[in-house]
Amino acid sequence: MEAFARLVTALRPWLGQLVVVGGWAHRLHRFHRLAKPPDHLPLRTRDTDLAFSPDEALAGNLHTALTDAGFAEELFGYDAPPATHYRLGEDDAGFYAEFLTPLHGSGLKRDGKPDATVSKAGITAQKMRHLELLLVSPWSVRIRPEKEIPIAEDVELFVPNATSLIVQKLLIHADRPPHKKAQDVLYIHDSLELFGGSLGELRRLWVDDVRPSMAAKTARKAETMAQELFAGVTDTIREAARIPQDRRLAPENVQRACAYGLGEILRGMPTQ
């Protein structure tokens, strides 16, 4: 929490242009007005993913702001420019931040090399397929010093709406490594639990905002994946149920809860 507060403080001038995605988005969802936080802890993650639109004009220098706050730039991969993490701490468990932006098109540059990264405002962002969904109608959450995150003063952060987060997890599922597939299933389950009293609002977001932003084929893929992924208990669902350390989950309950919640959000849309 202290590391995240340090990151937020360093990036305060750009917070209106950045959306916190990934595991930290799920943690921050607990501060949203529609959330009904359960007794168990949210999943923990050591990285913070920050997304922005490729059309966003990021003024100033994010790299300088982060290094001045004690974050060290770490380059990895063979892309040009190389992907970048901003790490706080020396060991493998150190907290780090990375920047993401949507990938459009074939994923290749004109010279045939991967179109995997882009540089802007001093930092390098990784391009990711379907990330644009997380930028559709983002929610804002206000964090105050008296909350869990030890910041000096109130700050407003943008996070994906819960429908966008869930649908993006469905669309990237097939391309994820096995352990990430299980983690994503748990994120879907916990998101549905967190907003279980507001499934009508999540459905409205799907109908009015998220689905209209997608190609019809992509929307149908998400709907199909929701049905197939939770049609029965699978090894992925069993592994997802084993992840939490502070609660017991039955795989059958995970499967049924996800099938029901996704059915309520995505049901009955006309084909196009």
pLDDT digits (tens, 9 = 90+) for 198-246: 999 999 999 999 999 999 999 999 999 999 999 999 999 999 999 998 8
Q: What is the pLDDT of residue 76?
A: 79
Residue type, 84: T
Q: What is the pLDDT of residue 265?
A: 97
Q: Are 49 and 187 in contact (CB under 8 A)?
A: no
Q: What is the pLDDT of residue 223?
A: 96
Q: What is the pLDDT of residue 153?
A: 84
Q: Output b/e per residue, 211-227; b: 16+ Cβ within 10 A.
A: beebeeeebebbbebbe
| Among the listed residues 55, 14, 26, 58, the one whose alpha carbon sits nearest the alpha carbon of residue 161 | 26
Q: Summarize pLDDT for 71-128 with one digit per residue, the tens.
A: 999 887 777 788 889 998 765 467 899 999 999 877 767 776 777 899 999 999 999 9
Query: How much is the average pLDDT of 150-155?
Result: 84
